[in-house]
Amino acid sequence: MGRKTYISYMNDGTTVRIHGDLGPHCAECLDVAANLCDYPIGGDKTCDRMICHQHSSLVGDNMHYCSAHFAIYKKDNPEMFSNVISPFKRDQENEK
């Protein structure tokens, strides 16, 4: 009945096939959808694209964007991404 095939990517680059019903597929691959894209698309609505861990980018507290929206977000907020890296670097330097 609800038997589907999922292809999940492991951290070491190998893939694992899973048979069963684990819910909807990711919009971009055959992995299990783990998150919904939270990108605002106007009004109270969000993109709501189903995305797996691999294809979701964490942008805040339990906020995930699909790869297309994350690319837009990154382009619109380049300063946010340089800020993400620099305090980290500073911390590491202080530890020396």
Task: State in angstroms the smallest separation of the CB of 86 from Zn ion.
Answer: 27
Residues 31-60 contacting Zn ion, CB under 5 A: 31, 37, 39, 47, 49, 52, 54-55
Task: State in angstroms the smallest separation of the CB of 10 from Zn ion.
Answer: 13
**Residue 88 vs residues 35, 61, 63, 85, 91: alpha-carbon distances, Å:** 27, 18, 21, 5, 5
Which CB sits closer to Zn ion, 6 or 52? 52
Residue type (1 letter), 26: C
Which range in 10-18, 19-27, 71-79, 87-95 contacts Zn ion by CB under 5 A?
Answer: 19-27
Does 28 bind Zn ion (CB under 5 A)? Our answer is yes
At residue 95, φ and ψ (nearest 5 deg) are: -75, -20
Residue of 22, 29, 34, 36 interacting with Zn ion (CB under 5 A) = 29
d(CA 73, CA 6): 29
Token pair in block for residue 16: 């694992």
Handedness of CA 51, 68, 62, 38 (dihedral sign): negative
Report the interface residues with Zn ion, using CB under 5 A.
26, 28-29, 31, 37, 39, 47, 49, 52, 54-55, 66, 69
